[in-house]
Amino acid sequence: MSAAAVHSPPNYLRAEQGIKSWLLTTDHKRIAWLYIAAITAFFFVGGFAAMLMRLELLTPQGDLVASDTYNKLFSMHGIIMVWFFLIPSIPTTLGNFLIPFMIGAKDLAFPKLNLASWYIFMLGGIVTLWAMLAGGVDTGWTFYTPFSSLYSTTNVIWAATGILISGFSSILTGLNFIVTVHTMRAPGMTWFRLPLFVWSHYTTSLILVLATPVLAITLALVAVERIFGVGFFDPKLGGDPVLFQHLFWFYSHPAVYIMILPGMGVVSELVATFSRRAVFGYTFVAFASVAIGVLGFLVWGHHMFVAGQSVYSALVFSVLSYAVAVPSAIKVFNWTATMFRGSVSWDTPMLYAIGFIGLFTGGGLTGLFLAALGVDVHVTETYFVVAHFHYIMVGGTVMAYLGGIHYWWPKMTGKMYPEGLARLSALIVFIGFNLTFFPQYLVGYWGMPRRYHVYPPEFQVLNVMSSAGASILGIGYLMPLFYLIWAAKYGRAATANPWPATGLEWKTPSPPSTHNFEETPIVLHDAYDFEALRPIIEEEHSHR
Amino acid sequence: MSTSSPLALRFQFATEEQQRWVASVGMWVFLATEVMMFGGLFTTYAVYHMYYGHAFATGSNMMEISLGAINTAVLLTSSLTMALAVFASRVNSKMAIVFVIATMVFGALFLGIKFYEYYSHWEEGQVPGFNFRYSGPEAMHVELFFLFYFVMTGLHAVHMLVGMGLLTTLLVRLRIGTVGPGYDTPVDITGLYWHFVDIVWVFLFPLFYLVGRHMK
Amino acid sequence: MPRTYILNYLALLFLTALTTAVSFLDMGPFNTVAAIGIAGAKALLIAFFFMHLVDSPALVRVVAIGALIWFSILMSLTLGDYVTRGWLPIPGK
Nearest to B90 by CA among B9, B181, B153: B181
Tell me the C-alpha distance between A176 and A174, whole Å.
5
pLDDT in tens, B46-64: 999 999 999 999 999 999 9
Helix A67-81 / helix A28-56 crossing angle, nearest 10 deg? 160
**Inter-chain Cβ pairs, chain A and chain C, closer than 8 A:** 45
Are the beta carbons of B202 and C43 separated by less than 8 Å? Answer: yes
Nearest to A245 by CA among A236, A257, A232: A232
**At residue A293, what is the residue type?**
G
Same domain, C24 and C3: yes
Same domain, C7 and C47: yes
Identify whether B56 is part of a domain.
yes
**At residue B194, what is the residue type?**
W
pLDDT in tens, A76-99: 999 999 999 999 999 999 999 999
pLDDT at B2: 33
Least confident window among A421-425, B133-137, C8-12, C68-72:
B133-137
Subunits with 3+ Cβ pairs within 8 Å of C are A, B
Same domain, C20 and C44: yes
Same domain, C80 and C47: no
Q: Which residues of A touch C85 (CB under 8 A)?
A: 309-310
List beta partners, residue A382. A449
Range of the domain at B171: 34-215
Identify whether B22 is part of a domain.
no
Answer whether residue C93 shows pLDDT above 90.
no
Same domain, C32 and C61: no
Identify whether B11 is part of a domain.
no
Number of domains in chain C: 2
pLDDT in tens, C1-22: 899 999 999 999 999 999 999 9
Percentage above 90 pLDDT, chain A: 91
Same domain, C51 and C61: no
Are the beta carbons of A211 and B36 separated by less than 8 Å? Answer: yes
Q: What is the DSSP letter of B183?
A: B
Range of the domain at C61: 57-93
Are the beta carbons of B143 and A239 separated by less than 8 Å? Answer: no
**Segment A67-72 long-range contacts (CB within 8 Å, at least 24 positions apart):** A67/A453, A67/A454, A68/A138, A69/A136, A70/A453, A71/A138, A71/A140, A71/A451, A72/A132, A72/A136, A72/A137, A72/A138, A72/A154
Nearest-10 Cα torsion for A286, A289, A290, A296: 170
**Does the pTM of the predicted model rise above 0.90?**
yes
pLDDT at A518: 85
Could you give the residue ranges of the DSSP H alpha helices within A192-280? Answer: 196-228, 241-275
* pLDDT classification of B199: cutoffs 50, 70, 90: very high
CB atoms within 10 A of CB B210: 27
Percentage above 70 pLDDT, chain B: 96
* pLDDT classification of A242: cutoffs 50, 70, 90: very high
Q: State the maximum Cα–Cα separation within chain B, in Å, rounded to a whole number.
A: 69
Å between A249 CA and nearest CA of chain B: 12
Tell me the C-alpha distance between A261 and A273, whole Å.
19
Mean pLDDT of chain B, nearest integer: 93
State the average pLDDT over residues C63-75: 97
Identify whether B89 is part of a domain.
yes
Domains of chain A as residue ranges with CATH: 25-543 (1.20.210.10)
Contact between B78 and B107 under an 8 Å Cβ cutoff? The reply is: yes
pLDDT in tens, A440-477: 999 999 999 999 999 999 999 999 999 999 999 999 99
Q: Which residues of C touch A243 (CB under 8 A)?
A: 78
Q: State the maximum Cα–Cα separation within chain C, in Å, rounded to a whole number.
A: 61
Are the beta carbons of B202 and C35 separated by less than 8 Å? Answer: no
Are the beta carbons of B210 and C20 separated by less than 8 Å? Answer: yes
Contact between A137 and A162 under an 8 Å Cβ cutoff? The reply is: no
Tell me the C-alpha distance between C67 and A296, whole Å.
16
Q: Which residues of C touch B196 (CB under 8 A)?
A: 51
DSSP string, A380-439: TTBHHHHHHHHHHIIIIIIHHHHHHHHHHHHHHHSB---HHHHHHHHHHHHHHHHHHHHH
Identify whether B177 is part of a domain.
yes
Same domain, C6 and C48: yes
Q: Which residues of A touch B128 (CB under 8 A)?
A: 228, 230, 237
Output the CA angle A370-A371-A377, nearest 5 degrees. Answer: 55
**Cβ-Cβ contacts under 8 Å for A417 (sequence gap 6 or more):** A348, A406, A409, A410, A480, A483, A484, A487, A491
pLDDT at A544: 53
Mean pLDDT of chain A, nearest integer: 94
Answer whether residue C60 shows pLDDT above 60.
yes
Same domain, C25 and C63: no
Q: CATH number of the domain at B43, please.
A: 1.20.120.80
Number of domains in chain B: 1
* pLDDT classification of A188: cutoffs 50, 70, 90: very high
* Cα atoms in the Cβ-side hemisphere of radius 13 Å centred on A476: 26
Q: Label residue B160 exposed, middle or buried (CB < 10 Å: 0-12, 13-18, 19+).
A: buried
Tell me the C-alpha distance between A203 and A289, whole Å.
7
Nearest to A91 by CA among A207, A13, A12: A207
**At residue C65, what is the residue type?**
I
Answer whether residue A331 shows pLDDT above 70.
yes
**At residue A262, what is the residue type?**
P
Å between C31 CA and nearest CA of chain B: 8
Answer whether residue A8 shows pLDDT above 70.
no
Identify whether B7 is part of a domain.
no
Mean pLDDT of chain C, nearest integer: 93
Answer whether residue A261 shows pLDDT above 70.
yes
State the average pLDDT over residues A204-228: 96
Same domain, C90 and C70: yes
Same domain, C50 and C66: no
Same domain, C4 and C49: yes
Identify whether B23 is part of a domain.
no
Å between A183 CA and nearest CA of chain C: 10
Among candidates C59, C73, C85 on the partner chain, residue whose Cβ is nearest the Cβ of A298: C73
Tell me the C-alpha distance between A136 and A41, whole Å.
18
Same domain, C42 and C12: yes
Tell me if ipTM is over 0.90. Answer: yes
Identify whether B20 is part of a domain.
no
pLDDT at A519: 87
